[in-house]
Amino acid sequence: MRKSVARSGGFTLVEIMVVVFIIAILVSLALPSWMNARARAQTRICVANLRQIHQAKEMYALATRAQTGASVSMSDLVPDYLQAEPFCPAGGGASYTVNAIGTPPACPTGLPNHTFSWTGD
């Protein structure tokens, strides 16, 4: 008479390794697109911050009757024209260069996409 050996309901090592391998492939496919999406979001936020700074400089120039080329600092714009000083998300907390009136503000990172064309080009 043979005894039947009951098999436990667990997974084999091979089955677990196959599942881990499939998950690793899916992650390796998704990671580059996630990183690109993050960089695009940082660029959009940076350009929006540059646009806000430029608009605040224009309002400051109108309110103080400042001429083109007059120097402006961030302390002139905050809190009257900006609620708080914006920072570039890709810059690691570095502040923007405000520049003079008539000159666009600059991003501290110097990345090529982190620019704002204030002339409407």
- Is 60 part of any domain? yes
The number of domains in the chain is 1
DSSP 66: P
- Segment (H or E) for 45: helix 13-64
Q: Does residue 102 contact residue 68 with C-beta atoms inside 8 Å?
A: yes
Which range marks the domain in which residue 105 is found?
Answer: 23-116
- Is 95 part of any domain? yes
- Give the residue-averaged pLDDT of 67-90: 88
CB atoms within 10 A of CB 111: 15
Q: What is the pTM of this model?
A: 0.70
- Is 6 part of any domain? no
pLDDT in tens, 79-108: 888 898 999 888 787 888 898 888 888 888
